[in-house]
Copies of this chain bind each other. A is one copy, B any other.
Amino acid sequence: MGERAGELINRIAVLRAEYKMTQQELAQKAGVSRQTIISIEKGKYTPSLALGFEIANAFGVDINEVFQYNKGEVGK
């Protein structure tokens, strides 16, 4: 029960490159620490929905452009 069914992938690094935004800047805009951005960007854990939205509108894009959820391989 440690992991949820699906996998969450994010395009934060891509978007940061595209918008030339540093982790520090993104962290400030989203209102979290730089560590949080790093961890999420690297997929170490999944952020809260609120933070997801904050990150999305730090870039000014829809949340679906930042995060994609591939629901769990039920058929294994």
Contacts and interface: CB of A to CB of B under 8 A. Distances in A.
Contacts of A47: 48-49
A46 B67 CA distance: 17
Contacts of A62: 64
A15 to B, nearest CB: 15
Interface string A45-58: 01111111110010
A62 B39 CA distance: 26
14 contacts: A4-B31, A8-B53, A46-B49, A46-B50, A48-B49, A49-B52, A49-B67, A49-B69, A52-B52, A53-B67, A54-B71, A57-B71, A63-B64, A64-B64
A52 B8 CA distance: 11
